[in-house]
Amino acid sequence: RYGVNLMPLGGHYDLQGNFPRERWMENCRRMCEMLRSLGHIVFIAHDQAEHTFMTSFALPSERVAHSGNWREYLDLYAGCTVLAANRVHGAVCAAGFGVPSLIMGNDTRARIGEYIGLQVTSAEEMSANDIAERMSEMLRTRGEQHCRLLAKRDATMERYLAAVTPILASIQ
């Protein structure tokens, strides 16, 4: 299933004051139509504004998931085949489960994804065709990307433990 997280401003804020809302809405609508032709969509909303926004794109048979419990998002992200998201932490979370992800951001925080090898694009400049093509490519290479992301997660955990273990041992 294709995980999709969309925010009304392509991110948390309109930092420049000129985000093209109408073009963004149309690109989101077209992107969802294209993704439906590739597979099942699940919309993942983190707040009421996102839920309302994504409900306008969802078909009656499609789920727009929203919860007040952050732990429920772990299962949602882990269950995605691939993910396209405005929320950086959602994409990073999914990547931790080995889910190839695309971050569509509107500020420099989106570049966090580059450090772990996620695709990053500008929400303002994205095209629905480009997103659908990227999602198709992520699906095609999913097995390879899944293994790469899990290996990166495991290596990061090993480095973290190596760094904190001596500190924790010195406290006792």
pLDDT for the residue numbered 4: 96
- Record the pTM: 0.90
Top-confidence range, 10-14, 94-98, 102-106, 136-140: 94-98
H helical segments located in the chain: 21-38, 48-55, 70-78, 88-96, 128-140, 142-171
Q: Which residues touch 56 (CB under 8 Å, ≥6 apart)?
A: none
pLDDT for the residue numbered 32: 94
In this predicted model, what pLDDT tens digit does every residue of 135-170 receive, in sequence order?
999 999 999 999 999 999 999 999 999 999 999 999
Query: Which band of pLDDT confidence, cut at 50, 70 and 90, is reported for residue 72?
Result: very high
In this predicted model, what pLDDT tens digit does every residue of 106-122 receive, in sequence order?
888 889 999 999 999 98
